[in-house]
Amino acid sequence: MNARQTLGRAAEDAAARHLQERGWRLLARNVRIGRGELDIIARRGPVLAFVEVKARRTGTCGTPEDAVDPRKRRQIARLAELWLSARPWALAGVSDVRFDIVAVDAGSVPCRVRHLPAAFTCDG
Amino acid sequence: MLARIASEALSGLEGHPVEVEADVVAAAPAFSIVGLPDAAVQESRERVRAAIVNSAFQFPSRRITVNLAPADLRKQGPSFDLPIALAFLVATGQATDGCDGRGRIAAVGELGLDGSLRPVAGALALAQSLRRRGVRGLLLPAANAAEASLVPGLEVYPGRTLAEAVVQLAAGGGEAAPPADLRALLRGGPGDGPDLSDIAGQHLAKRALEIAVAGAHNILMTGPPGAGKTMLARRIPGIMPPLTAAEAIEVTRIFSVAGLLPPEMPLVTRRPFRAPHHTVSSVGLVGGGGTPRPGEVSLAHLGVLFLDEFPEFRLSALEALRQPLEDGEITISRRLTSLTFPARIMLVAAMNPCPCGYLGDREHECTCPAHRVRQYAARLSGPLLDRIDLRIDVPRVAPRDRRDPAPAEASAEVRARVVRARDAQLRRLQGTGAYANAHMAPRDVRRLCRVQRDGIALLDRAYDRLRLSARACDRLVKVAQTIADLAGTETIDAGHISESLSYRARGAGES
């Protein structure tokens, strides 16, 4: 595992902890579908969220949410649809399906975590 | 959940019913609009989203599909914002449709990002179309209410914001705007523009204009720059018969669809005067474009289309005028539909006698080479000139007239004579479909125009000497008939014929 992967792993752990502390139940982590990956799939009450985790060591390269560009958004949306179509039961009791971003600022200790609900939709 | 809101789409001047359906389901979030929407309708998503959030409603993260039915009708413009937002709010349980069992109401309106309702174009045409189909009421932006309430029998529910519209929908309408008092609006509107008494002298030109207006003849004025051609033309609406209530509605409908209705004026109360610049394209002149819009000929419907510098107009634009001049309407064909806009106009054209403008002037010398003068005149085709019954010279005002302190005759007096002459024509033309002498068919000219014996003799002489065509001869009689109508006589005498002959001055290329 190289340094970048280590950072990503640590950020995902921090994000997962952050979500769990706030009442989210994690349904799956690091779901690989084809060449893509969904970082975290979580559920809280009637809300099902596909969470993309973005880590940043410094603030010099823009915010973490900026790093989820339109191409990445489309990819996540497509993977989510595939995941859902294989598990129709996952929508039982669900009213809202969201694409969230959890931004992890790894430059500070302990790392700062920000949760952006409904950061984007299938159409941008 | 599924919800439906009725709305209305405009195609040309006609409304078509559109059913706005919103389906909201728990699935990967997306907001899509289907049903042949154009770019403005697609952008509606962003306006609706912002307006809903900023009106303190929830925009849940679900899959939203909006369908605009029927799917084969092209949907254009931002007027579906309101029905889309309402359908969405009903589908998500944040609003209720209180119209059940009472007859539905339709909704149109553009949304601002803050949830405010902005006026839409063509509210009058939409309201008329809804009324014809028996729809009970219309929910629309407050700024359009005065215009829509011109339609009797349709309940008009104005809203300033999306939140107000939601309240009204829940009440199945709520408080309707009071119906407009058409006659009061017509009386209270601005007058018919500048008065004929402002112009000193030019008695011959004024007389010709009076005849032209009385018989709905088209007219061409030729004269040097500064002679007052434009001043004269601008005063024509003031001597035309006043707009009737039905005509005012017709004109307002066209202005409203073109988006030219001033916000503080729900009704056009004076006859239109349109003076497009000579660089106008043929589409600008007769209408059309990707989203067909009325052109200048339609905006001048029931009024005056003034074309200054007549020969400078593009040939394509001038030739495109022929159909509307002939039929009083213009048909625009598109892949999916063909639209008709009314275009019953009085054409008033003005030109200089030559490119420099001074040919035939007593004070100035014309500097144009002879071939340039011929080229200039030749730009006007025979078939087009054929539609112009009167051609007059408008020379510079004589110094004596310019100093004359006695006020010239006011427009109101001329108008009174015109109205009398029109009444006489209406009586005679009953059953022919024409309402003025200019529109008589050749058959009707022979049947209805009674020329006295001395008039016939003069006509025959002119026919020989001037080598008139049969058509030119008909035209001569039509104008003479109008002169007789103004004089209040039943038959046409030699005097009427000879005056009529004097209005076929110069103008290029006699037919």
Q: Is A85 on the interface with B (CB under 8 A)?
A: no
pTM metric for this prediction: 0.86
Query: What is the architecture, at CATH level 2, of domain A3-120?
Result: 3-Layer(aba) Sandwich (3.40)
Contacts of A123 in chain B (CB under 8 A): 30-32, 45
Residue span of the structural domain in which B295 resides: 196-502
Residue type, B385: L
In B45-104, the residues whose Cβ lies within 8 Å of chain A are 45, 60-63
Radius of gyration of chain B (CA): 28
Facing residue for A84 by CB, picked from B28, B45, B60: B28
Cβ of B60 within 8 Å of Cβ of A122? The answer is no
Structure tokens at B504: 């076929």
> Is the CB of residue B322 less than 8 Å away from at least one CB of chain A?
no
CA–CA separation, A24 and A7 (whole Å): 23
Which chain B residue shows the shortest CA-CA distance from A47?
Answer: B61
Kindly state whether residue B180 falls inside one of the protein's structural domains. Answer: no
pLDDT of residue A59: 62
B201 and B344 fall within a common domain = yes
Q: CA of A94 to nearest chain B CA: how many angstroms apart? A: 7
Are the beta carbons of A118 and B61 separated by less than 8 Å? yes
Residues B56 and B123 in one domain: yes
Within 8 A of B60 by CB-CB distance, chain A residues are 95-96
Same domain, B90 and B228: no
Q: Residue A122: its chain B contacts at CB < 8 A?
A: 28-30, 63
A89–chain B nearest CA distance, Å: 12
In a domain, B184, yes or no: no
| Domain count within chain B | 2
Cross-chain residue pair A123–B62, CB shorter than 8 Å = no
Residue B190 lies in a domain: no
A to B CB pairs, distance under 8 Å:
45
Same structural domain for residues B62 and B112? yes
How open is the CA angle B147-B151-B154, to the nearest 5 degrees?
A: 110
User: Do the strands A47-56 and A96-105 form a parallel or antiparallel pair, or are they unpaired?
Assistant: parallel
Phi and psi of A112, rounded to 5°?
-85, 135
- CATH number for position B55: 3.30.230.10
pLDDT in tens, chain B (511 residues): 899 999 999 988 999 999 999 999 999 999 999 999 988 899 999 999 999 999 999 999 999 999 999 998 889 889 999 999 999 999 999 999 988 777 889 999 999 999 999 999 999 999 999 999 999 999 999 999 999 999 999 999 999 999 999 999 999 888 888 888 888 888 877 777 889 988 888 889 999 999 999 999 999 999 988 888 999 999 999 999 988 899 999 999 999 999 998 878 889 988 999 999 999 999 999 988 877 889 999 999 999 999 999 999 998 998 899 889 888 899 988 776 788 999 999 999 999 988 888 887 777 888 889 888 888 888 887 778 878 899 999 988 777 777 777 778 899 999 999 999 999 999 999 888 888 899 888 888 988 999 999 999 999 998 888 888 888 888 899 999 999 999 999 899 999 999 999 998 554 444 3
Cα angle B99, B104, B106; round to 5: 115
Q: How many CB atoms lie within 10 A of CB B193?
A: 14
What does the pLDDT look like over A1-57, one tens digit per residue? 677 788 888 889 999 999 999 999 999 999 999 888 999 999 999 999 999 998 877
Contact B26 A81 (CB under 8 A): no
Indicate whether B243 and B154 sit together in one domain.
Answer: no
Task: Supply the DSSP symbol for B380.
Answer: S
What is the residue type of B458? L
Taking only the tens place, the pLDDT of each residue in B393-420 is 998 877 777 777 777 889 999 999 999 9
Residues of B in contact with A121 (CB under 8 A): 29-31, 61
Interface test with B, best of A97, A98, A100 (most B CBs within 10 A): A97
**What are the Cα distances from residue B233, in Å, to B59, B321, B347?**
57, 19, 10
- The DSSP letter of residue A31 is E
- Residue B409 shares a structural domain with residue B459: yes
Q: Which residue has the higher pLDDT, B147 or A122?
A: B147
Cβ within 8 Å, pair B62-A91: no
**Do B99 and B212 belong to one domain?**
no
Chain A residues with CB under 8 Å of B58 CB are none
Same domain, B204 and B125: no
Look at residue B186 and tell me if it is in a domain.
Answer: no
Hey, are the CB atoms on B26 and A94 less than 8 Å from each other?
yes
- Which residue, chain included where needed, has tokens 């979030």? B29
Residue B16 forms part of a structural domain: yes
Q: Could you tell me if A123 and A74 are in contact, meaning their C-beta atoms sit under 8 angstroms apart?
A: no
- Give CA–CA dist B122/B110, Å, rounded: 13
| Domain segments of chain A as ranges | 3-120
Spell out which residues of chain A touch residue B63, defining contact as CB-CB under 8 Å. 97, 122
B25 close to A (CB below 8 A)? no
| Cβ of residue B32 closer than 8 Å to a chain A Cβ | yes
Residue B272 confidence (pLDDT): 92
Are residues B35 and B160 located together in one domain of the fold?
Answer: yes
Candidates B92, B67, B103, B66; CA nearest to B166 is: B92
Residues B143 and B277 in one domain: no
* Residues B100 and B245 grouped into a single domain: no
- What's the CATH code of the domain at B378? 3.40.50.300
The answer to whether B27 contacts chain A (CB < 8 Å) is yes
- Distance, CA of B453 to CA of B449 (rounded, Å): 13
Token digits for B56?
């303190």
Give B431's contacts (C-beta < 8 A, 6+ positions apart): none
Instruction: Look at B27 and A121 and tell me if their CB atoms are within 8 Å.
Output: no
**DSSP letter for each residue of B445-504:** HHHH--B-HHHHHHHHHHHHHTT--HHHHHHHHHHHHHHHHHHT-SSB-HHHHHHHHHTB
Identify the pLDDT of residue A69.
Answer: 87
CB contact A90 to B (< 8 Å): no
For helices B411-428 and B203-215, the axis angle rounded to 10 degrees is 40
Residues of B in contact with A99 (CB under 8 A): 28-29, 61
Kindly state whether residue B314 falls inside one of the protein's structural domains.
Answer: yes
| A80 interface with B at CB cutoff 8 Å | yes
- pLDDT value at position B463? 86
Q: Going by C-beta distance under 8 Å and a sequence separation of 6 or more, which residues neighbour residue B417?
A: B210, B214, B486
DSSP state of B409: P
Do residues B147 and B267 share a domain?
no
